Amino acid sequence: MGAHAFVSRTEPRMSANLAESPAQVRIWFDGPVEKMFLEVRVETEDKRRVDKNDAHRNPADDTLVEVGLPRLLPGRYRVFWKVVARDGHKREGSFSFLVK
Ligand SMILES: [Cu+2]
């Protein structure tokens, strides 16, 4: 356990209703995640990928994973993420948000 990575918060927040398209998705974990092997993808409801395919760990914070977004049209989006924690354990999850 110990170095297991759990999500501590996200931006946008899980299930958020946003008035404007967010510039990026940011996911904070409760511990460091590996720089390699991380994956974040953002999809429309009909499974079209919309993120900039530039997912990376923040250079100044090894618990923060980010991916850029283009300007999103109104709709619901789902974020899928996969990371490897310091102890080698893989974790994955997803959450959605709405752009009004
Ligand atoms: Cu673990």
- pTM here? 0.94
The answer to whether position 50 is within a domain reads: yes
The answer to whether position 1 is within a domain reads: no
The side-by-side arrangement of strands in the sheet containing 24-29 is 7-11, 24-29, 64-68, 56-57
User: How far apart, in Å, are the Cα atoms of 99 and each of 19, 20, 32, 52, 59?
Assistant: 6, 6, 30, 17, 28
Distance between Cα 87 and ligand 1 center (Å): 5
Burial of 77 (0-12, 13-18, 19+ CB in 10 A): buried
The answer to whether position 2 is within a domain reads: no
Distance between Cα 90 and ligand 1 center (Å): 8
Domain span including residue 57: 7-99
The answer to whether position 70 is within a domain reads: yes
Number of domains in the chain: 1
Distance between Cα 20 and ligand 1 center (Å): 36
Give the CATH number, domain containing residue 39.
Answer: 2.60.40.1220
pLDDT digit string, tens, across residues 7-48: 999 999 999 999 999 999 999 999 999 999 899 999 999 999
Distance between Cα 5 and ligand 1 center (Å): 7
